Amino acid sequence: MRSFIGFYKGGVLMRLLTALLLLVGLGLAKDLEIQSFVNKYLSKNQKIQALQEQIDALNSQAKVISKWDNPILYLGYNNANVSDFFRLDSTLMQNMSLGLSQKVDLNGKRLTQSKMIDLEKQKRS
């Protein structure tokens, strides 16, 4: 215990801790420099830019394919306006209709297409 206190009071421990912190800080700084260097020069590579554009296009295509179509609202009004044809009342010849339709992917076609696009993205990455 006595030697540890002497080691601490002599300032050696503080110097070692400072040196350790500096080494760790320099190591992190080197990693950041390498990472920024790689990002800078890889972003200028035309082949990598072309591949990235293809991947972005495939991502947007996958989003479009996976979405459902918009629902359709139908409104209808029919009036035959027959006044004395077989003595039918004209109110019987009126018709109003309201409808809503939505295309539903029952066989999984959209899912299959989006998986195909994902495989294409993996092939190009």
| Percentage of the chain modeled with pLDDT above 70 | 59
pLDDT in the model for residue 125:
67
Q: Please give the Cα distance from 53 to 121 (Å, whole number).
A: 11
pLDDT in the model for residue 7:
47
What mean pLDDT comes out for the span 2-19? Answer: 59
* Residues 79 and 63 sit within 8 Å (Cβ to Cβ): no
Answer whether residue 43 shows pLDDT above 60: yes
Of the candidates 78, 51, 66, the residue with the CA atom closest to the CA atom of residue 105: 66
pLDDT in the model for residue 39:
72
| Percentage of the chain modeled with pLDDT above 90 | 3
pLDDT in the model for residue 1:
47
Confidence of residue 73 (pLDDT cuts 50, 70, 90): very high
* Residues 102 and 74 sit within 8 Å (Cβ to Cβ): no
